Amino acid sequence: MARPLVLHEDRLFPADPGARAIARRLYQSVRDLPIISPHGHTDPSWFATDAPFANATDLLLVPDHYLFRMLYSQGVSLESLGIPGRQGRPAVDPREAWRIFASHQHLFRGTPSSLWLDHTFATVFGLDVRLGPDTADHYYDTITAKLAETDFRPRALFDRFRIELLATTESPVDTLAHHEAIRASGWESGRAGRVVTAYRPDPVIDPEHEAFQASLARFAEVTGEDVHSWDGYLAAHRKRRADFARVGATSTDHGHPTALTADLPRAEAEALFRTVVSGKATPAEAELFRAQMLTEMAAMSVEDGLVMQLHPGSFRNHNPLLFQGYGRDKGADIPTPTDYVRSLKPLLDRFGNDKRLTLILFTLDETSYARELAPLAGHYPALRLGPAWWFHDSPEGMLRFREMTTETAGFYNTVGFNDDTRAFLSIPARHDVARRVDCAYLAKLVAEHRLDEEDAQQVAADLAYALPKRAYKL
């Protein structure tokens, strides 16, 4: 017999009855605030075309590397799940892929994925039994049937989720056609919610990116600039940043292996660039070029006002077999130790005191929270701390973030929460988890008489809504 699916109203709240009661009150004051999602990787074509999603597998499993990386770790092949590879999409029945997923639900016990999935199943699709081998077809049929209804199209779900802003992330060689189509459709006219983009220049900044040379050629075509000259290359970035801003971008995003920055004299930067575009850069030269470009991007942000986000510290594509067969973003990115104090100093020496720059720092290295990130953000006007990210985007990870940063950086040198997801339907679930965890943390401070409850309510609202709007200049 199928077990019932129940979302407990006190999930993630403190076990102590007094603190739990405070957390409940705080949560009630923020639970229905609109969602600000200023950084993510959802597909803008969903909102441009408003076409119905195909089925449960394509919507919930295929885009979500949190899910299929766990399955892969237990020997489930990506091919059997229908994950597209370099040779295209395998000929796999999506129902069979969903059955495989359902038969491995026990793998997600205690993980944030389980929280997000149960929230999605119950609140979006009205399912009241747990997913498992015996309910796989019931789930697949119920979800797939609902996706054919008008109320489950992308734009309708966007409104239902109370999303005020959703930012996607595009490459500098993207045409931005989907964002142009969204604006041309008139869908956003007179509505509170909108979809914008963010500038992710990694493919034309990272000499070790497999598409670097091809992306440079496309960069030249899109901008009309001589991107093989230093001045033309920088001018191309400025042009594209302006293009992105015209379709709503307020931020850039940089996924570098480290947080290293540099501020080279012009002659040295130009010579380094010539080596890089020749295709002969050593790993050390590639790292120095990425470091220089972070400072160049900061300079451009001072000029054009785009908020800068830095996501360092991931050894990307660690599994060469997976990368060769499936490409990037397939769950094989592994955290590495990251130095911020020394690495950021060249950039901060130049721009750290400039209030025109907002640089939001993320990390996968939790050991840096109290030692480096909180003290840096608690001092430099240009710095803000992004939320617990990726592997730490979890109840425990969020609590550790607050516990290790609040005493030094406070709440107001952080930027609230952003979900950083490709899984559209998980957005409200992720924000709900973040709001519950923040309320649990605030309730502890109130219960210990370290914070007044009225002030805690204001902080909860700021973390959920005001701080991301302010940080991202929305």
pLDDT tens digits for 342-366? Answer: 999 999 999 999 999 999 999 999 9
The pLDDT of 103-115, averaged and rounded, is: 96
Q: pLDDT confidence of 91, banded at 50, 70, 90?
A: confident
Q: What is the pLDDT of residue 356?
A: 98
Tokens of 431: 């924000």
Residue with the bigger pLDDT between 329 and 239: it is 239
Protein fold of 17-51+153-471: TIM Barrel (3.20.20)
Give the residue range(s) of CATH 1.10.2020.10 domains in the chain.
53-149
Q: What is the pLDDT of residue 88?
A: 80
Q: What is the pLDDT of residue 195?
A: 97
* Contact present, 220 and 192 (Cβ < 8 Å): no
Can you tell me the distance from the alpha carbon of 241 to that of 300, in angstroms, rounded to the nearest whole number? 9
pLDDT tens digits for 407-445? Answer: 999 999 999 999 999 999 999 999 999 999 999 999 999
Q: How many CB atoms lie within 10 A of CB 406?
A: 18
Protein fold of 53-149: uronate isomerase, domain 2, chain A (1.10.2020)
Nearest to 172 by CA among 229, 228, 217: 217
Give the residue range(s) of CATH 3.20.20.140 domains in the chain.
17-51+153-471
Q: pLDDT confidence of 330, banded at 50, 70, 90?
A: confident
